[in-house]
Structure 1
Amino acid sequence: MASRERFDRLDALRGVAIVWMAVFHFCYDLNYFGLIQQNFRVDPFWTLQRSCIVSLFLYCAGLGQAVALEQGQSWRRFWRRWAQIAACAALVSAGSAWMFPRSWISFGILHGIAVMLILARLLAPLKGGLWIAGALAIALPQFVQHPFFDTRWSNWAGLVTHKPVTEDYAPVLPWLGVLLWGLAAGRWLLAQRRGWLAGALAPGLAPLATLGRWSLSFYMLHQPVLIGTLWLVLMLRR
């Protein structure tokens, strides 16, 4: 059986998001251990970066769904990958509850991706209408908020009146819009500019593509490694 087409440029773009995220989290960890003094919750330098990182991740997820749909990915194969993401999301919740009992992650980026991938798959038949659906998803939280959505068990929708106290928060709205735009853009690129996703990489970018193909594994491992390393360094300095 012929091997499937590789989309190294898409993988490399996902790798950029992974590296950026790791650098951001390393700075966050330095702040947590008191090695730097930054306010990650309100300082625009950090909040804007987080928004850009999440946007890039979700846009890449949308591009990836476009590729998967074009390659005829079955629902069975979809659910197999989805189960991995959902299981990792549960592990993130458990780990964060241990480290941050007052601000544990109930609906972070992996939780959001798990829900949004299902919605994107169901909305994929809209084709060009995905651009409009994405715009509506992004705009809706600006006009609709209600205290009902402020609880930990309902804030996943994103229609909150204030941001919850949590270490990570990526609700369905407005972020679904970014993923849907990625899906719409991916379909257009596959039809009109395929080389932008599947073309040859510039010299030296192969490691980014490899990293992008293992993004979930890297995501799950990088924080334990970073936190463990910083903790060990601090212990040795005492």
Structure 2
Amino acid sequence: MPETARLVEIDFFRGIAILLMIVFHTVFDLAFYYNWPLDYLDGFWYYQGKAAAVLFMLVSGISSILSRNPVRRGLTVFAIGLLITAATYAYSPAVYIRFGILHLLGIGMLAAPLVSRCSALLLSLIGTAVIVIGNEFSQITAATACLVPFGIKPPSFASLDYYPLFPWLGLVLFGMAAGKLLYSQNRPLWPSAASYRLVCWLSSLGRRSLLIYLMHQPIILAILYIVNP
């Protein structure tokens, strides 16, 4: 399927993920910078934020299977992830983003050509193995930070955004498996979806997801500063 032939339903779900992300980061900013009593590390807001991340991963996996050039996209996303690493290190070295969701999604896109010939079943099995291994890795600590991308952390590790390859790449692989199953005929599942205004609006957000990801936090912080300096 050509990259230019975008599927409305894919952009629609990516748009939903964008909205969930904006809500979660607004909650985070209010709690972290303005001491509002909002618990983003547990309960509703925690799972709401994780829902946004999971949806991004699944949609990214589907898109990587359908894309003609996931490597180019992967290099772009991973490079932006590195820029965010540098920016957050300059701002807060104690909790800077070493391996966040953009790093993960970039690696997933780069890996797509290597697994594109795998069946949906095999992709699902590999994804399950990655998740199981990741759960084991989460119980291990190491003296070095070199293994942070794989889910093995030093005891004092902290980060504003952390989505290591194990277990989270497993969800990207699940998305690839879904892409194999749902789009085996290279046809949209919702051929008439574009006729609905809400779908069109959310899809327009999804098409600009990377730009919105880069711009939303400065905008949120600026608005909060104006409202509550």
TM category (shorter chain) comes to: 0.7 to 0.9
Among 200, 210, 213, the residue aligned to 1:219: 213
* Greater shift in the superposed pair: 101-110 or 197-206: 197-206
Structure 1: gaps spanning 5 or more residues: none
The Cα shift of 1:205 comes to: 1.8
> For 1:52-106, what per-residue CA distance to the aligned partner results, in whole angstroms no more than 9, with x for missing partners?
22111000001111221xxxx1xxx433322321221122112212332210111
* Matches of 1:115 and 1:87, distance apart in 2: 10
> For 1:106-139, what per-residue CA distance to the aligned partner results, in whole angstroms no more than 9, with x for missing partners?
1111011112222233122222310111111111
* Matches of 1:119 and 1:163, distance apart in 2: 30
Letter in 2 for 1:230: L
1:85 equivalent in structure 2: 77
CA separation of 1:124 and 1:193: change in aligned 2, threshold 3 A: closer
Instruction: Judge conservation of contact 1:146–1:159 (CA < 8 Å) in 2.
Output: yes
Among 87, 95, 104, the residue aligned to 2:96: 104
1:26-175 equivalence runs, <5 A: 26-34=26-34, 36-41=36-41, 43-68=42-67, 73=68, 77-128=69-120, 129-144=122-137, 145-148=139-142, 151-160=144-153, 164-175=157-168
Structure 2: gaps spanning 5 or more residues: none
* Greater shift in the superposed pair: 121-130 or 99-108: 121-130
Whether 1:16 and 2:7 are equivalent positions in the alignment is: no
* Matches of 2:157 and 2:56, distance apart in 1: 21
Letter in 1 for 2:158: V
Name the structure, 1 or 2, with higher relative contact order (CA <8 Å, separation 6+).
1
Instruction: Count residues in correspondence.
Output: 225
CA separation of 1:136 and 1:162: change in aligned 2, threshold 3 A: farther
CA separation of 1:163 and 1:178: change in aligned 2, threshold 3 A: farther
The Cα shift of 1:209 comes to: 0.4
TM-score normalised to the size of structure 1?
A: 0.84
Letter in 2 for 1:157: F
* Matches of 1:20 and 1:3, distance apart in 2: 25
Look up the SS of the partner of 1:19 in the other structure: helix
TM-score normalised to the size of structure 2?
A: 0.87
Instruction: Judge conservation of contact 1:12–1:212 (CA < 8 Å) in 2.
Output: yes
Question: Over aligned residue pairs, what C-alpha RMSD do you find?
Answer: 2.4
Instruction: Judge conservation of contact 1:106–1:152 (CA < 8 Å) in 2.
Output: no
The Cα shift of 1:199 comes to: 4.7
Consecutive aligned runs of 4 or more in structure 1 exceeding 6 Å deviation: none
* Matches of 2:188 and 2:155, distance apart in 1: 42
Q: Percent identity?
A: 30
The Cα shift of 1:181 comes to: 0.7
